[in-house]
Structure 1
């Protein structure tokens, strides 16, 4: 019998899973006609039920809906707020073009086809844009597992870093970042309260932005930008305070984790490189989340050494399996990597490696479809990868979920 355990779990995945072809066709992802709203919901419901059944079969506790109702991983939180407006075909002058995802778009002569900007005072409407996704997952799982369901949420700062200073909000609406952050934080508190009252106890916030502060190219671009009034370190610290305000009212039994990777776009494209060394101490000691889901599948994420700063009361899920490409990792090599990371955590915390392992888990480094079209893997590849994650966890932590 599988022992009970609160999140995080030994074997995890990062939320987004490859969509089946009928779902992509119904959403018009291949350029064809979209299905009617009623037909699309029926297809979504069936696809989600299938992928939930598979996750349970594969031995996963933190069940997600694969983000099957979303086009991109961050969902509809920001468009659902009063004071935030979607703009089509934005002009290039509003963006920090050295922010890694923006720089990648420009390499291909592209500008984001949509973006969300602040146009007025920001306020939560009281209606959650995530709640329907959670309620449907509840209908597919036993009541005793509702607290294990994992909802992936948008990063609070997602629509801030990409904009040049002074362009994230009108100056006649907010005088400075602190005022702007505060209203988003209050909206985030409201969102978490709604989801908590519905039964959600397992939250994962997805934020590639934090990894961008590890990128030397981004740091150099920041320094060369005459519009910036402070350093990139100043902004990173401000983001940490911003996050802490967002989650400050979450009850103690609501597990909140942060997923950081270096980008995951169409064609398995990543956006940035650089180890966690530059941000690790602040990230691990000042940000009030319980768990860090970290990219560790390639050298672009650096070494395990920054894990020395992981406090003794926090967890880390090591993304040592790639979701980007089909080549399978060697199980014993990955087991050895987890043990190596545990040695670093133990050294930093002054504890045994066995105790350090109690605060670790394993996962792919990112989702399989942060964008609806997905990565350069097949459904069969994804299944093999997720089964491998489970096998690694079972060898290191036998009998634990």
Structure 2
């Protein structure tokens, strides 16, 4: 990769802690004290601020912090044609805590329409300056995985093959629309692959009548179909997440169960992989990464707590990963975003930026010869 094109040696996953200004404005909007345009103006100001802070802390890539979203995924899904919010019987169970009981279901033919996040990206691009603006959206497989067959109208899609065909078309159209809006760096966020590494999660799938191995092959084929004819100057990454709600998690288990299918066959440009604790397993699965073009961003710095990692230990782990993949194909990032939902992780804003500075400092030292 060239120095001015992504992925960079120091990377980010996407979300940042929501500023109090935005949290208060959302409360005011819900109470009818301000309107949608006033809320957006407050969001604009805070997004401009977070972009400046990302650049000040050494990043060459910036996001809007996902400041306009309540969820990392549902906001995007619900704005698709044929999809809608609905209330769940209960929230998603994380390790010791549940999310709000909200989901998205498919009630009509899926399609990508003029999506509000296109304008969100255009604003980010307008304030990014000389940094590369990165857009983050959920992976298509996530829309099916959580609700499964039960969240897809059987009258609209009696045959799931038709559903997956429309799923591919929808995301291909989304990729094209973001590209036309000026996006050259797009990240797909995906919890599915981490769940397919977890024996507990796979058993839950079997209990629902699903075949985890078949799902892995279906998801790989879906991802390959949506990136098959992407423009050469568009970099697409896939972030594999084990769950990140209020500093908790869902899935555990190394990447080995899915490594050959995921790393060996999925044709994205970059894999963002969580490697911040023992639940992530070892680096051996990286042997399946294609040599040359494909890159891996090692999420070695946790966003779940404010304690700073030891710089030398992180450097050592990068070298350990380089035993299985060329060091030149590696980069460094936090393991996930700092606020996958509007509630955010158990970390302060000051600690958040200390983590980012740690990533940029280590990256400048670990790849000094290459840069």
Q: Look up the match of 1:159.
A: 143
Distance of 2:100 and 2:106 partners within structure 1: 17
CA displacement at 1:75 relative to structure 2: 5.6
2:308 maps to 1:338:
no
| Secondary structure at 1:121 match in 2 | strand
Structure 2 counterparts to residues 2-401 of structure 1, below 5 A: 4-28=3-27, 35-74=34-73, 76-87=75-86, 89-91=87-89, 102-104=92-94, 112-125=100-113, 127-142=114-129, 145=131, 148-164=132-148, 166-223=149-206, 225=207, 227-228=208-209, 230-266=210-246, 268-312=247-291, 313-345=293-325, 356-398=326-368
Unaligned runs of 5+ in 1: 93-100, 346-355
CA displacement at 1:28 relative to structure 2: 2.1
8 A contact 2:300–2:314 mirrored in 1: yes
CA displacement at 1:285 relative to structure 2: 1.4
Q: Calculate the aligned-residue CA RMSD, in Å.
A: 2.2
CA displacement at 1:249 relative to structure 2: 3.0
Distance of 2:215 and 2:323 partners within structure 1: 32
Unaligned runs of 5+ in 2: none
Normalized against structure 2, the TM-score is what? 0.93
Which stretch of the first structure deviates more once superposed, 29-38 or 5-14?
Answer: 29-38
Describe the superposition over 1:191-224 as per-residue Cα deviations: whole angstroms up to 9, x where unpaired: 111111121110111111210001111122233x
Distance of 1:190 and 1:34 partners within structure 2: 37
8 A contact 1:25–1:32 mirrored in 2: no
Normalized against structure 1, the TM-score is what? 0.87
| Secondary structure at 1:297 match in 2 | coil
Distance of 2:43 and 2:296 partners within structure 1: 32
| Secondary structure at 1:15 match in 2 | coil
CA displacement at 1:326 relative to structure 2: 0.8
8 A contact 2:244–2:340 mirrored in 1: yes
| Secondary structure at 2:122 match in 1 | helix
8 A contact 1:159–1:168 mirrored in 2: no
Count of aligned residue pairs for this structure pair = 369
Describe the superposition over 1:245-292 as per-residue Cα deviations: whole angstroms up to 9, x where unpaired: 2222321211000001210002x1111110001001110111110110
CA displacement at 1:156 relative to structure 2: 0.6
Distance of 1:67 and 1:237 partners within structure 2: 30
Q: Look up the match of 1:95.
A: none
CA displacement at 1:90 relative to structure 2: 2.8
Distance of 2:181 and 2:255 partners within structure 1: 35
Distance of 2:360 and 2:155 partners within structure 1: 52
